[in-house]
Amino acid sequence: MKEIGIETEYITLGQLLKMTDTINSGGMAKWFLSEHDVFVNGEAENRRGRKLRPTDLVNIPEFGEFRIVTAEGMSFDAD
């Protein structure tokens, strides 16, 4: 599981997809979410604007699992 550090209150699911190189541009988010399963905290999610906050877990089968953390709370040995 990879940790994604954020310095704001939240990021959107679309931003996460781009930050993790799952998609190449923000414009691909809607298409990606309509074609792939994405789970936030164990529940299916297809809204690119879904707000992700620290402690949220995102699972994108075949792409990876990600935990949202505050930037100062990141540990660099979590793979």
Cβ partners under 8 Å of residue 39, min gap 6? 45, 58, 59, 60
Q: At residue 21, does pLDDT exceed 60?
A: yes
Alpha helices in the chain (DSSP H): 13-19, 29-35
27-56: average pLDDT: 97
Work out the pLDDT band at 77, boundaries 50, 70, 90: very low
Helix (H, G, I), strand (E, B) or coil at 5: strand
**Structure confidence at residue 75 (pLDDT):** 52
What is the pTM assigned to this prediction? 0.86
Beta bridge partners of 69: 5
Domain 2-73 class in CATH: alpha beta
Work out the pLDDT band at 79, boundaries 50, 70, 90: very low
pLDDT (tens digit, 9 = 90+) per residue, 8-20? 999 999 999 999 9
Show me where the domains of the chain are located.
Answer: 2-73
